[in-house]
Amino acid sequence: MSLKLTDKLFLLSWKKLLLIPVVWIACVVLHNAIYGLFQSFFEPGGDEPFFFLLAVVVIPLYTAICLVYSLVHVVMQFAARSRSR
17-70 pLDDT tens trace:
999 999 999 999 999 999 888 888 877 777 888 999 999 999 999 999 999 999
pTM (two decimals): 0.83
Alpha-carbon distance of 52 to 80, in angstroms, equals 41
pLDDT given at position 84: 80
Whether pLDDT at 11 is above 80: yes
Among 1-10, 42-51, 66-75, the range with the most confident prediction by mean pLDDT is: 66-75
Question: In terms of DSSP H, where are the helices of the chain?
Answer: 3-10, 14-37, 49-53, 59-84
pLDDT of residue 41: 83
